[in-house]
Amino acid sequence: MSILVPPGPTPVQFSPTDGVITDVDDVLTTTRAVRKRLDTDRPVPASVIETCLRLATHAPNAEDRQNWRWFVVTDEHKRAVVAKYYRMAWDAHVRTTAGKRRGRWTDPSRADRTRESAQWLAENLHRVPVLIIPCVLGRPASTTEIEALNREWSNDDEIYPKVRADVVTNATWYGSIFPAIWSLQLALRSRGLGSTPTTAHLPYAEHVGQELGIPRQVTQVALLPVAYTVGLDFKPSRRKDVRDVTIWNSWASSARSGDDSSQGSLDD
């Protein structure tokens, strides 16, 4: 199996009028999970966040519901609330999983650097000028709703296998918000800002919602720390050769598709 390592980053191309990176391929390949290179001292104008969110909401979503909501936290005290629960969740994660997942990385040194970067974020989240919590109105389908769909979609003919409505409902629910989250990250990167999607605070989402005033019927799905980056020279991530992860027509006939070990990603 081969790993694609680009020969070197091309110079970042900015529009002379508005400071936006204009090379689409550059934005797609250099939008990294940024933590330690977030500039915690530089303010982020609300107008920049609004522009990026406006672009993000052009992402595809099921039935054009547009039931996403973006809870933007810039108030110092409210950022501290989010950071408190984030740190609690991170500390619990470290206690319960330290060392257990390291073996899933083929390059242990990359795992160590990513964990160091995540630790930095847990210790400094309160200093990040903007925290964005992507939300969805309502809740994912309940067990009762899924069972009803299973009955509705089932066919008495034994030729057909048992249906799994939960696969559809979960894919539709989360598949209607994460494309917009990625679009938001791309828009931020194109304007010199960094972010990283994390779900670490979600075990305490109910407590975060209570203290921030997020309604109970609204589902928090992630958290994005956002700030201008220290420097713009982000290199493309190391990724497997696309031929190693692409299957044409028949899985069995794809000789290069057998290795599914994760390389992980080195976060900045």
DSSP states of 131-142 as a string? EEEEEEES-PPP
Query: At 164, which helix (H) or strand (E)?
Result: none
> What is the distance between the alpha carbons of residues 139 and 254, in angstroms, rounded to a whole number?
39
What confidence score (pLDDT) does residue 238 get? 86
Comparing 133 with 159, the larger pLDDT belongs to 133
> What is the distance between the alpha carbons of residues 40 and 229, in angstroms, rounded to a whole number?
9
Predicted confidence (pLDDT) at residue 103 exceeds the cutoff of 60: no
Within a domain: 19: yes
Within a domain: 226: yes
What confidence score (pLDDT) does residue 241 get? 92
* Residue span of the structural domain in which 161 resides: 3-244
Within a domain: 264: no
User: What mean pLDDT, rounded, does the chain reach?
Assistant: 85
**Model confidence band, residue 257 (pLDDT cutoffs 50, 70, 90):** very low
Tally of structural domains, the chain: 1
Comparing 268 with 185, the larger pLDDT belongs to 185
pLDDT in tens, 44-71: 999 999 999 999 999 999 989 999 999 9
Q: Is 66 left (phi over 0), alpha (psi -120 to 50) or beta?
A: left
What confidence score (pLDDT) does residue 38 get? 96
Within a domain: 258: no
Within a domain: 14: yes
Within a domain: 253: no
pTM over 0.85: no
Comparing 88 with 153, the larger pLDDT belongs to 88
What confidence score (pLDDT) does residue 114 get? 83
Within a domain: 39: yes
pLDDT in tens, 180-239: 999 999 999 999 999 999 999 999 999 999 999 999 999 999 999 999 999 888 989 888
What confidence score (pLDDT) does residue 162 get? 74
**Model confidence band, residue 27 (pLDDT cutoffs 50, 70, 90):** very high
**Model confidence band, residue 8 (pLDDT cutoffs 50, 70, 90):** very low
Q: What is the CATH number of the domain that holds 59?
A: 3.40.109.10
> What is the distance between the alpha carbons of residues 103 and 101, in angstroms, rounded to a whole number?
5
Predicted confidence (pLDDT) at residue 3 exceeds the cutoff of 70: no
Predicted confidence (pLDDT) at residue 40 exceeds the cutoff of 70: yes
Residue in this structure with the two tokens 């406006």, named with its chain if needed: 54
* Residues near 265 by beta carbon (within 8 Å), at least 6 away in sequence: 32, 33, 110, 114, 237, 238
Given a contact cutoff of 8 angstroms between Cβ atoms, the answer to whether 87 and 123 are in contact is yes
Given a contact cutoff of 8 angstroms between Cβ atoms, the answer to whether 197 and 33 are in contact is yes
Q: What are phi and psi of 228, to 5 degrees?
A: -65, 150
- Which of 12-16, 148-152, 246-250 is predicted least confidently? 12-16
What confidence score (pLDDT) does residue 194 get? 96
Within a domain: 149: yes
What confidence score (pLDDT) does residue 250 get? 87
Comparing 7 with 188, the larger pLDDT belongs to 188
Average pLDDT over residues 91-101: 75
Average pLDDT over residues 2-30: 62
pLDDT above 90: percentage of residues in the chain: 57
